[in-house]
Amino acid sequence: MTRRVLAAGVIFGVLAMGQTPAASTRKLRVIAIGAHPDDCDIRFGGTAAKMAKAGHAVKFLAVTNGDAGHQTLAGAALAKRRYLEAQESARRLGIMEYQILDNHDGELLPSLEVRRQVIRAIRQWKADIVLAPRPNDYHPDHRYTGVLVQDAAYMVVVPNTVTDTPALVDNPIFLYVEDNFQKPAPFRPDVVVSIDDTWKQKVDGLDAHVSQVYEWLPWVDHQLDSVPKDLKARRVWLDKWRSGPISDEKRKVLAEEIGAEAAAKVQHVECFELCEYGRRPKLDELRALFPLK
């Protein structure tokens, strides 16, 4: 597999080309962008908590307000509930901000207006790293969020677009969060982060999204009857529901990152793929920006 590289230079003032990578000492500004007010938590919650503990500035952004994602609630009442759930999740994960844009759930399109919203958000956060879904997914909102972030990836450094918000001087690194879709190409885990030490915190964050993890998602999957009524019991249920096996491909990457012996003991991970747009560091430099152990 050919690895994509960045032209010779310095990554965030930490790693020069050819140096042995080490954990980044600069405090990074990271923004994870999802379609709905729980998407970032699902794919990035454990790593976000690790990075926040390390002193990095982490923000979640939902491009829609989630006002359609429920079997009985809808509209403004659901959007308000999901906003409050997201703020509680942010508190539990220890991240700095959870912003929700006022676009309707299920109606997202990669329009110029929404692209400008995404560009503004990335610029205002002065992001070093941007995470988003790939533009291939079962949900149109997920797909179009991926397209919107890709469309913003170069424009964030162009001063003559979205002139009400200063352009970034340096293009961020753009990464995809994990998915299971195979076409047009399967997800490639360039970075695999062990989240064993923040797994409980991640599940605690998901637990705040009551309308989703205990109501909507089990209902739409025809599993609502399996959700316990007792608060403690359903927290245990959520822990098991979100757990899954680690593939051989991910174990191989983990072994490259932290050694085979340590990798064999890891139980929970989150994975990220380098986007072809934006800043493209060498693989070892990219991995050095994440708390892998």
**In which residue ranges of the chain is pLDDT below 70?**
1-24
Domain range enclosing 247: 26-288
Length reported for the chain: 293
- For position 20, what pLDDT does the model report? 33
Residues 163/164/165/166 CA torsion (nearest 10 deg): 50
Task: Look up the pTM and report it.
Answer: 0.91
Report if residue 34 sits inside a domain: yes
- For position 10, what pLDDT does the model report? 32
* CA 259 to each of CA 39, 65, 156, 186, 252: distance values in angstroms, whole numbers, following the listed order: 30, 41, 37, 25, 9
Report if residue 250 sits inside a domain: yes
C-alpha 246: how far from its chain's center?
18
**Helix count (H) and strand count (E) of the chain?**
11, 9
Domain containing residue 280: CATH number: 3.40.50.10320
Query: How many domains does one find in the chain?
Result: 1
Decide if 27 contacts 56 (C-beta within 8 A).
yes
Which tens digits make up the pLDDT trace of 232-252?
Answer: 999 999 998 888 899 999 999
**Residue 80 DSSP SS3:** helix
φ, ψ of residue 289 in degrees (nearest 5): -80, -10
- For position 149, what pLDDT does the model report? 98
* CA 32 to each of CA 47, 176, 222, 231: distance values in angstroms, whole numbers, following the listed order: 11, 10, 29, 29
Report if residue 264 sits inside a domain: yes
- For position 243, what pLDDT does the model report? 82
- For position 146, what pLDDT does the model report? 98
Cis amide prior to 291 (ω within 30 degrees): no
